Amino acid sequence: METIVRTKVKDLLACEPGKDVLAKGWVRTKRGNKNVAFIALNDGSTINNIQIVVDKTAFAEDLLAKITTGACICVTGALVESVGSGQAVEIQAKEIEVYGECDPMRFPLQKKDTSFEYLRTVAHMRMRTNTFGAVMRIRNQMAFAIHEYFHSKGFVYLHTPIITESDCEGAGQMFQVTTLDLEQPLPRNKKGAVDYGKDFFGKQTSLTVSGQLEGELGATALGEIYTFGPTFRAENSNTPRHLAEFWMIEPEMAFYDIKDNMDLAEDFIKYLVQYALDNCYDDIKFLNDRYDSELLERLQGVTGTEFVRLEYTEGIRILEQAVKDGVQFEYPVYWGVDLQSEHERYLVEKHFRRPVILTGYPKEIKAFYMKQNEDGKTVRAMDVLFPKIGEIIGGSEREASLEKLEKRIDELKMSRNNLEWYIDTRRFGSCPHSGFGLGFERLLLFVTGMSNIRDVIPFPRTPKNAEF
């Protein structure tokens, strides 16, 4: 007898009826009457379930009793045309094996409309729900698309360190890495400070907040590089837009000026959104129909429109005029302020009604490495602003002048000790170069329509939460 090979649910739903098949997965629902049971089976390959039709008279009662919501089963049967609505084919069961039982009284995913807040408390199980299965499949496709995009353009994928001594953002919100025994008195130097010479690396080290500085080293050797990896911020922010551990995509390009940088950012994000529409449509449609009826429209709107290029100074003028016209913001608006999400979203959603790339920021609110404009007040920074999200990409043309970079480091009273290697890129063959960072989870918020960043990463790391 020919052995039947398992077929994934996604592929089964696209098969022609008329043959015996083998399906494996988890029971989403089970219903029926005295003679027939209908089981909705899902294996994670698609948002859609395949229906298993079970003739109760052909199976033992104790076996059927074990098939409850959440149980894992293996089914062999005939793939036939479905007489019910909702699916083209279904499986008429001939053999059923229960791989793993699931106690219906203890299974945490019983309720149909379980809140996201509750699901975060059982994050180890929530990927079994339709919603989080959809989000994780989209996350997977977006990660693949990022590599495909840069690979097609000849960029080199550079692995930058996770453990580092440099604070790229200069904000000091870093997680310290140490092997010193914190239960014992810490070694001290003559000044009474902790002697990190006795630590594993011989100096104070932390988890990276960004791979950008090391990425610039790569760009000045390899031309065009990108990083894609985890980054960490010890920021005590309990908001729907912040995580302590998140993923960043950071391209750095030699010989790109600010315009080249903006062009790449716009092309990149349009590519990703179009890729999601082309390859994740079923999952996006589910999220659109279930949670956010404007999701598909928003995504299609991004791919088919030119982004606005707007100077910061002009953006402030528009916002100040909005205040005069009666718009109320929680945070004040004035030249020199670091724009809040509400300001960014007003520009995108109300004023222009399309994505905006904001450039020419005051140098005082931006990082030390950004190229200064001739006016001495602004830098060639750029932020890409999106509907519902606000800032989704942040970047700049980098300061190529050794003199200006050193002066800015001194102005900010930054330590030169662990930046000499970075300054070397301006000492030895300095070149114009640019780059930006895209927070992967911010992208996923936009593509999925989810409202909380904790719901687009499998196991969120936030203040007082490091479960699993």
Do 365 and 338 meet the contact criterion of CB atoms below 8 Å apart?
yes
Structural domain contains residue 4: no
121 found inside a domain: no
Count of structural domains within the chain: 2
Of 366, 326, 327, which is closest to residue 346 (Cα–Cα)?
327
157 plus 62 within the same structural domain = no
467, part of any domain: no
Domain membership flag for residue 2: no
Any idea what the CATH number is for the domain that residue 71 is in?
2.40.50.140
What pLDDT score does 349 carry? Answer: 95
Residues 96 and 133 in one domain: no
Enclosing H/E stretch for 405:
helix 402-411
End-to-end CA distance of the chain: 45
- Amino acid 380: pLDDT: 98
β-strands 156-157, 224-232 pairing? parallel
Residues 132 and 76 in one domain: no
Buried b (16+ CB within 10 A) or exposed e, 185-220: eeeeeeeeeeebeebeeeeebbbbbbbbbbbbbbbb
- Identify the domain containing residue 65 by its residue range: 9-100
The pLDDT assigned to 370 comes to 96
Say if residue 77 is in the same domain as residue 166: no
DSSP H stretches of helix in 126-257: 130-152, 212-222
In terms of domains, do 324 and 437 share one?
A: yes
In a domain, 109, yes or no: no
CB atoms near residue 279 (< 10 Å): 16
**pLDDT at residue 281, as a whole number:** 97
Residues 53 and 145 grouped into a single domain: no
Same domain, 368 and 451: yes
Element (H, E) at 438: strand 433-439
Q: Among residues 51, 83, 100, which one ends one of the domains?
A: 100
In a domain, 192, yes or no: no
Spatial contact of 402 and 430, defined as CB atoms under 8 Å apart: yes
pTM, to two decimals = 0.94
Over the chain (468 residues), what is each successive 10-residue block's mean pLDDT? 87 95 96 93 97 96 96 97 86 97 91 84 93 98 98 98 80 87 94 94 94 95 98 88 94 98 98 98 97 95 94 98 96 96 95 97 94 95 93 96 94 86 94 97 96 96 91
Same domain, 40 and 162: no
Q: Is residue 188 part of a domain?
A: no
Is 138 found in the same domain as 63? no
Q: How is residue 207 annotated by DSSP?
A: E
How far is it, in rounded angstroms, from Cα 371 to Cα 405? 8
Provide the pLDDT for residue 110: 75
Say what the pLDDT of residue 168 is: 65
88 and 132 co-located in one domain: no
Domain check: are 319 and 360 in the same one?
yes
Contact present, 316 and 342 (Cβ < 8 Å): no
State the pLDDT at residue 327: 96
Nearest to 41 by CA among 84, 3, 76, 15: 76
Q: How many CB atoms lie within 10 A of CB 407?
A: 14
Instruction: With CA atoms as reference, report the closest residue to 280 among 45, 65, 59.
Output: 45
Long-range contacts of the stretch 46-49 (C-beta < 8 A, 24+): 46/8, 46/9, 46/10, 46/13, 46/282, 47/130, 47/133, 47/134, 47/137, 47/282, 47/283, 47/286, 48/9, 48/10, 48/13, 48/87, 48/282, 49/9, 49/87
The enclosing domain of 348 has a CATH number of: 3.30.930.10
Sign of CA dihedral 267, 269, 271, 274: negative
Q: What's the pLDDT score for residue 171?
A: 58
Q: Which phi and psi angles does 445 have, rounded to 5°?
A: -55, -45
φ/ψ (deg, to 5) at 204: -75, 125
State residue 99's pLDDT score.
Answer: 98
Q: Is residue 297 part of a domain?
A: yes
User: Cβ(348)–Cβ(355) under 8 Å?
Assistant: yes
User: 193 near 165, Cβ under 8 Å?
Assistant: no
Q: What is the model's pLDDT at position 304?
A: 87
Distance CA 425, CA 365 (A): 24
**Are residues 78 and 142 both part of a single domain?**
no
- Please spell the DSSP secondary structure of 284-329, one letter per residue: HHHHHHHT-TTHHHHHHHHHTSPPEEEEHHHHHHHHHHHHHTT---
